[in-house]
């Protein structure tokens, strides 16, 4: 096991880099561009573009930015979200949000905490329990405030 942070596959930033790389590759393909064309537009080598599309965390941020610029993309920052339909108890708590597919993670935890009396913990799926545990660890400092 490597102790170098950017070599650890399960680190959150590594997951984000992979997601960004996959999004950039999908956009390139949607535009019908080759790797060589995008690399040329971005002013980077094809091998560097391959690393960007693979989401290698050791690649400089400038390479990701150059690739985004070559694909006419602008970065946006938004809170981490969860898909409501994947979590039955969360769906019960969001009944008053018709048409909402996603909810910010912090808001999801706040709903669980505020309306815990409406949550049927015995009916929670393992997937939902895992989500709640992750949210409590990430935003609640390990404590579910109910």
Pairwise CA distance, residues 49 & 36, whole Å? 9
Give span(s): CATH 1.10.260.40, the chain.
5-70
Instruction: State how far the Cα of 123 lies from the Cα of 89, in Å rounded to an integer.
Output: 8
17's CB contacts (< 8 A; 6+ apart) are 55, 56, 57, 59
pLDDT of residue 13: 81
Helix (H) or strand (E) holding 42: helix 35-42
Burial class (CB within 10 angstroms; exposed 0-12, middle 13-18, buried 19+) of 128 = buried
Kindly report whether the global pTM for this prediction surpasses the value 0.75. Answer: no
Q: Which residues of the chain have pLDDT under 70?
A: 1-10
Please report the pLDDT score of residue 8 as a whole number.
53
For the domain spanning 5-70, the CATH number is: 1.10.260.40
pLDDT for position 9: 57
């Amino acid at each position: 096991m490597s102790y170098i942070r950017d070599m650890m596959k399960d680190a959150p930033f590594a997951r984000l880099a992979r997601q960004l790389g996959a999004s950039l590759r999908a956009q390139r393909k949607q535009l019908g561009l080759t790797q060589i064309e995008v690399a040329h537009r971005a002013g980077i080598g094809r091998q560097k573009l391959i690393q960007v599309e693979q989401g290698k965390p050791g690649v400089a941020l400038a390479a990701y930015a150059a690739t985004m610029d070559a694909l006419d993309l602008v970065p946006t920052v938004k809170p981490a979200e969860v898909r409501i339909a994947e979590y039955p108890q969360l769906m019960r708590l969001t009944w008053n949000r018709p048409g909402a597919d996603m909810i910010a993670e912090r808001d999801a935890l706040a709903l669980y905490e505020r309306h815990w009396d409406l949550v049927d913990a015995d009916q929670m799926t393992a997937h939902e329990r895992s989500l709640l545990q992750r949210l409590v660890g990430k935003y609640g400092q390990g404590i579910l405030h109910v």
